[in-house]
Amino acid sequence: MLTEAIQYAATSLVTPKKFRPFIRSSVSLWSRAGRCAKDWAAHEENCRTFIRETVAGMKQRRTCVVLGSGLLRDVPIVDLSEKFDTVVLVDLVHLASVRMRLKGKRFANVRLISRDLSGFDDAVATKDPEPLSFLRQVPYLDLVVSANILSQIGVGSKRRLEAENSPAREEILQRLVRAHLDGLKALPCKTALITDTAYRVADRAGQVLEEADLLCGVPAPAAKRAWTWPVAPYGELSKVYQAVHDVIAL
C-alpha cells in the first residue's frame, strides 16, 4: 500500500489536472502487473514479439506512435527507440515509475503525451468520434501501434454510460470501437493492433461463470496471431476461479 501511495503521489505531480482522476486505475494496474508477473509474462512477450516482427518488415522508420503505452511491459521500448528517429507514447496517464525508467535509460528520442483516445465526449454529444484524427498532424509517421487499449476504451466508457444511465449505451460503445478500428485503417502508414476481444471467468473444473464480448458487439478483425491472457489468475480474485482474456494481433 505504501508503494502504491508513493506511485500515486509522484504521478499526480507530473500529470495534467484533467487526467488525474485516471491515476488510481493506472496504479492499480501497475500493482496487479507486479503480483501477476509470472502469469502475464507469455502475453507480454507475445505483444513485444508481434511489434518487433512488424517493425522488422519496415523500410522507413522515422516516427512511431504507441497508443495505450501504459506500463510499457507489453511494448519493446528499447527496440523502438533504437530503430526509430522518434517514438511517441500516448496514454491517459504515464506513471512516475515509467517516466523514471525512460529517464534512467536516457531515451532522448521518446516523447510522452497525455491524451484521451476514446472519443467519448464526441460520441455522447452525437458527433462522429474521430479519436485518432490527431495522428494526421504527426510528421513523418511510419508506424502506429494500438497496444491493448481498444477493449479498455469499451470497458471505461461502459462504466461512465452506466453511471449516467444512458439509453444509447450500446450504440455509443459500438461507435467508439468502430472509430478506433476505422481510424487505424485510414492511416497512411503501417499499423499494428493488439487487443483483447472477450473474457471469461471460469472455475477450476472449467465451468464458465461469466463471459463478455470486449468489443461491444463489433466483429473482431481477422487476426494474424491469437492467444489467451490470464488477466486474473487463480488467487488474484479468488482461489477457485480465474479470468482469462482472448487476445488477437494484426
- Average of pLDDT values for 174-195? 97
Tens of pLDDT, residues 10-35: 999 999 999 999 999 999 999 999 99
Q: What is the pLDDT of residue 69?
A: 97
Say whether 16 sits in a helix, a strand or coil: coil
The pTM of the full predicted model, rounded to 2 decimals, is 0.95
Tallying the residues shown for the chain, one arrives at 250
Nearest to 153 by CA among 115, 185, 192, 180: 180
Q: What is the pLDDT of residue 2?
A: 84
Residue 183 CA to residue 187 CA, distance in Å, equals 7
CATH 3.40.50 fits 38-249, yes or no: yes
Percent of the chain exceeding pLDDT 90 equals 86
Answer whether residue 241 shows pLDDT above 80: yes
Torsion sign over Cα 105, 110, 111, 114:
negative
Residue 75 CA to residue 147 CA, distance in Å, equals 8
Answer whether residue 163 shows pLDDT above 90: no
Grid cell locating 47: 505483444
Residue 176 CA to residue 215 CA, distance in Å, equals 10
Work out the mean pLDDT of the chain and round it to a whole number. Answer: 94
Say whether 114 sits in a helix, a strand or coil: strand
Read off the pLDDT band of 168 (50, 70, 90).
Answer: confident
Tens of pLDDT, residues 63-81: 999 999 999 999 999 999 9
